[in-house]
Amino acid sequence: MDKKTIVLTGGGTAGHVSLNEAIIPSLQEEGYSIHYIGSHDGIEKELITKNFPDLPYHSISSGKLRRYFSLKNFTDPFKVLAGIGQAFAILKKVKPSIVFSKGGFVSVPVVIAAKLSNIPVVIHESDVSPGLANKLAQPFASHIFTVFRETLEYLPKEKSTCTGSVVREQLFKGNKMRGFKLCQFENRKPVLLVMGGSLGSVVLNDAIRSNLPELLKDFNVIHLCGKGNVDSSLLELKGYKQFEYVTTELPDLISAADFVVSRAGSNSIFEFLALKKPMLLIPLSSSKSRGDQILNARLFKNQGFAEVLEEEQLTKETFLKSLQTLIRNKDSILDAMSKAERPKTPKEMIKLILQYEK
């Protein structure tokens, strides 16, 4: 009997790839042949080809879908059309029984091509309000899963379900001592882990580095600063370890952390929640985004899982003040986290996805 095939898609940021990374091992255990469709040069290509070198990766054309005026808005629709054609040809060749989309601009041509090919499509939306790509893809989906219950207000009721979060199993296998060894920390001060997203954050990086003399009095600092953002003048500074981006090391680094400072992407904050790491969230501002991280952060604040500092209010002084509030409220945050709903396992998630395959 031939293996069943599933096509995964999603990209643009690590958040549009991480769930796909989480479910791939479980799909392999179930005997599925897995193909990934992504862009030619997006972060999804780097992550999938590096972490799953034997998994077929197919690149397609993908235009960015902008909410603002740009001359590229007149040319990118042709890239999307080209991507639909390319995705259609790939789907015809690999013959999947289902397509699973995590969102991002590259997913739109794939979802449309799947609908044209009469292949069921399941979409996953991580943020409180659906992204533009998933909004465009909704009409072509067989079903849409969400992380937040509040997201269901924006979606067709007859084909939408809230599943809660899905957390990669390997994150629970981190080792605190390995994390300390990776960072070459020489003392047992509390550890502050700073994450600015897969692309890094200039404002977050500046806030951390401007406060290093104060922070290093009380903390060891792990700083995931984004590609090209390592400050070479600080490489020898004891108690401060910089990484551009990490993959296999992440479980150990999170295990070593006592507190987290982060943007408010859905995947990351639910991972910190599952691992019970008190967090200070600094969401991407509405001037730089559609405001999804602000909604994510406020919901976590309201549920007692996090402290929040809006980017517009971020200064050297407000950062330290907010961090002090986080430390002061550590026990109440951990208590709220202990009562949170358990995340789905990847195996539970694929069972939900595969019920829609033909």
Task: Give the pair of three-digit tokens for residue 258.
Answer: 């006592």
pLDDT of residue 2 exceeding 80 = no
Burial of 82 (0-12, 13-18, 19+ CB in 10 A): middle
Question: What pLDDT was estimated at residue 89?
Answer: 98
Same domain, 50 and 134: yes
Q: Where residue 309 falls among pLDDT bands split at 50, 70, 90?
A: very high
Question: Would you state the structure tokens that stand for residue 128, as one six-digit string?
Answer: 């409180």
What does the mean pLDDT of the chain come to? 92
Co-location of 154 and 227 in the same domain? no
Check whether residue 152 and residue 231 sit in a common domain.
no
User: Do 248 and 129 have their domain in common?
Assistant: no
Are residues 151 and 203 both part of a single domain?
no
Whether residue 85 sits in one domain with residue 126: yes
Give the pLDDT confidence score for residue 184 in this predicted structure.
94
**In Å, what is the CA distance from 12 to each residue of 38, 47, 64, 230, 234?**
9, 11, 10, 22, 30
The answer to whether residues 89 and 108 belong to one domain is yes
pLDDT at residue 219, as a whole number = 97
What would the pLDDT profile of 262-286 be if each residue is shown by its tens digit?
A: 999 999 999 999 999 999 999 988 7
Answer whether 244's CB lies under 8 Å from 228's CB: yes
pLDDT category, 358, cuts 50, 70, 90? confident
pLDDT at position 289 is: 65
Q: Are residues 103 and 177 in the same domain?
A: no
CATH of the domain at 291: 3.40.50.2000
Q: Are residues 140 and 203 in the same domain?
A: no
What value does the mean pLDDT take over residues 203-212? 93
What is the per-residue pLDDT across 249-262, written as a single tens digit (0 to 9) for each?
999 999 999 999 99
- What's the CA angle centered on 11, arms 231 and 125, to 5 degrees? 115
Q: Which domain holds residue 129?
A: 5-166+344-354
What does the alpha-carbon distance between residue 124 and residue 147 come to, in Å, rounded to a whole number? 8
Query: What confidence tens digit (pLDDT) does each residue in 112-131 have?
Result: 999 999 999 999 999 998 98
Per-residue pLDDT tens digits for 316-346: 999 999 999 999 999 999 999 999 999 999 9
Short-list 293, 307, 305, 316, CA closest to 343 = 305
The number of folded domains in the chain is 2
The answer on 254 and 117 residing in a single domain is no
- Give the per-residue pLDDT at 286: 73
What local confidence, expressed as pLDDT, does residue 291 receive?
Answer: 76
pLDDT tens track for 186-204: 888 999 999 987 655 788 9
Task: Give the residue-averaged pLDDT of 220-225.
Answer: 96
Q: Are residues 222 and 150 in the same domain?
A: no
pLDDT of residue 181: 95
3-state secondary structure string across 128-184: CCCCHHHHHHHHHCCEEEECCHHHHHHCCHHHEEECCCECCHHHHHCCHHHHHHHHC
pLDDT of residue 15: 83
Question: Over 70: is that where the pLDDT of 349 sits?
Answer: yes
Residues 88 and 161 in one domain: yes
Tally the C-alpha atoms within 13 A of residue 185's C-alpha that lie toward its C-beta.
25
Give per-residue pLDDT as tens, 53-97. Answer: 999 999 999 866 555 455 555 556 778 899 999 999 999 999 999
Q: Kindly tell me if the per-residue pLDDT of 288 is higher than 70.
A: no
pLDDT value at residue 72? 58
**Tell me, what's the pLDDT at 198?**
61
pLDDT digit string, tens, across residues 129-182: 898 889 999 999 999 999 999 999 999 999 999 999 999 889 999 999 999 999
Structure confidence at residue 77 (pLDDT): 74
pLDDT given at position 80: 85
